[in-house]
Amino acid sequence: MRGQRLRRVVLATVLAACFVWARKPGDPFKPGYNVYSRQQDIQLGQAAAAQVRAKYPEVADAFLRDYIRRVGERLANTQEARLSQFQFQFALLNEPIVNAFALPGGPMFVFTGLVKATDNEAELAGVMAHEMSHVILRHGTHEASKAKTVSWTTRLGAALAAAALGNAAGAAQLATMGVGLGQNSLILHFSREAETEADLLGSHLMAESGYDPLEMAHFFKKLGMMHSAGLQFFSDHPNPGNREHAIEEEVRGLPQRTYGYETGLFERAKVELAGLPPVGPGSAGTTTTPLPPQVEPSGAWKEAQVKPYRVQYPANWTAYVNSGTSIIVIAPAGGAATLPNGQINLSLGSMLGYFQPDSKQMSLGTATLNLVNHLHNQDSSLQMTSTEQHAVKVDGSDGLVSVLQARSPSLGPETYVLLTVARPQGLFFALSMAPVGNFAQLQKPFDQILQSIRFLE
């Protein structure tokens, strides 16, 4: 009996694979397996959208709001978008993150950082078409459907009802179930297969709207070369690979059209964006504050060492060395605290050690993004502040310096400087951090710490 069941599963898998392979470029797409109703998609999207609006500031500029709506509504007026019967809404969030996302049922959020990173309207429309395709194909609830539990129906109904009333407990329950906005959210993290489908359906929406669908592929390729700019987007949307070739093949199967549509408002939108007030971590409270006496580095220096490397640090600071690991934490008095489990909680100072990226074949830039994504998963407030990374030499090895920011519950906005170096043992890192108002005063000793690093293996 068990063998028969296994054979049926294998046969179903083979038939499903053949069905996928049989699809021709240009053919329509259909949503996959889903236990949610379309109305539940809408309810989930509305509950999550309320959390987004509470977390991020929406752009108040009427022209910019209308501009994003115009581009979005042109895409939403295509046949495949209309057949979904979802009512799409579009919002522009005043955040420097290079990202966008759409929630089940239709709410779409575009970050100002994404618009600034695009070179033309078709690139922007490409990302929005990609996000809209996730909604049309119901990818968010498709992913959640694969993880549902026996008591799912009762729990989901209660959580949605509570969330609809603005009840925080309801939102928390949705997050626990994987359909909220928490780190375990299933409705915002897609498989590579879903990303491919969103690319290809997005090319349909673009083509019918008059936008050149290849501009979507061009932008994703450019984003992948921009290192830190792509971190947030690709952490939510894994790159399926061969994007340009797949989209080119798909476009060949579409009816021939003339591309080149533009609203004519893109350049004005870029100018308006440049005039928006700064927001996000570090936009306020960035005035320099005096360093406490115990934090001011002394002129003398000491040395700390673990097996793979050694480093120097101010003599009036403390180096926490765990001989069983490659980690060294360096901090002034009050800059670090020892937790009950023995771990060091660092709020001001430097942490050095080794990180093992997902693949040993990763380039230095990609491994660095892998590490930043790992840090972001531990602290969702952490983000890149610039798309630029600076190449440096560390004891003769090539390194990268990236600037990040986060928000400490007790210290407010903090600046982070991350140094990464590819070494045989893994990705070496040195992360220096301080409150925004103090970082400039500590820049010199932080630089001296980094310059003193010597690799022993």
Q: Is residue 327 part of a domain?
A: yes
Residue 7's pLDDT band (cuts 50, 70, 90): very low
* Claim to verify: residue 124 and residue 199 sit in the same structural domain: yes
* Claim to verify: residue 306 and residue 418 sit in the same structural domain: yes
Interatomic CA distance for residues 372 and 404, integer angstroms: 9
Are 381 and 404 contacting, i.e. CB atoms less than 8 angstroms apart? no
* Claim to verify: residue 305 and residue 262 sit in the same structural domain: no
* Claim to verify: residue 333 and residue 262 sit in the same structural domain: no
**Cβ-based neighbour number of residue 452 at 10 Å:** 14
Q: Is residue 284 part of a domain?
A: no
* Claim to verify: residue 220 and residue 354 sit in the same structural domain: no
Of 65-79, 143-157, 163-177, the poorest mean pLDDT is in 163-177
Are 317 and 349 contacting, i.e. CB atoms less than 8 angstroms apart? yes
* Claim to verify: residue 254 and residue 314 sit in the same structural domain: no
Q: CA-CA distances (angstroms) from residue 446 to 147, 353, 417?
A: 45, 16, 9
Expressed as residue numbers, the domain containing 260 is 25-274
pLDDT in tens, 354-396: 999 988 888 898 888 889 888 888 887 888 776 567 888 899 9
pLDDT cut 90: percent of the chain above it:
41
Q: Is residue 20 part of a domain?
A: no
* Claim to verify: residue 234 and residue 383 sit in the same structural domain: no
What integer pLDDT is reported at residue 155 of this predicted model? 53
Q: For strand 344-346 and strand 336-338, is the pairing parallel, antiparallel, or unpaired? A: antiparallel
* Claim to verify: residue 199 and residue 341 sit in the same structural domain: no
The domain boundary residue, chosen from 258, 274, 290: 274
What integer pLDDT is reported at residue 24 of this predicted model? 80
Q: Is residue 179 part of a domain?
A: yes
Averaged confidence pLDDT in the chain: 80
pLDDT in tens, 206-236: 999 999 999 999 998 887 776 455 555 766 6
* Claim to verify: residue 372 and residue 228 sit in the same structural domain: no
The domain boundary residue, chosen from 274, 309, 325: 274
pLDDT at 77 over 90: yes
Interatomic CA distance for residues 402 and 456, integer angstroms: 24
Are 41 and 86 contacting, i.e. CB atoms less than 8 angstroms apart? yes
Q: For strand 318-321 and strand 383-384, is the pairing parallel, antiparallel, or unpaired? A: unpaired
The domain that contains 445 carries what CATH number?
Answer: 3.40.1000.10
Q: What is the DSSP string of 338-394?
A: E-TTS-EEESSEEEEEEE--S-TT--HHHHHHHHHHHHHHH-TT-EES-S--EEEEE
- Domain count for the chain, please give it: 2
Global confidence as pTM: 0.58
* Claim to verify: residue 241 and residue 136 sit in the same structural domain: yes
Q: Is residue 290 part of a domain?
A: no
* Claim to verify: residue 168 and residue 65 sit in the same structural domain: yes
Q: Is residue 295 part of a domain?
A: no
What integer pLDDT is reported at residue 188 of this predicted model? 61
Q: Is residue 158 part of a domain?
A: yes
* Claim to verify: residue 325 and residue 417 sit in the same structural domain: yes
Q: Is residue 296 part of a domain?
A: no
Element (H, E) at 51: helix 38-55
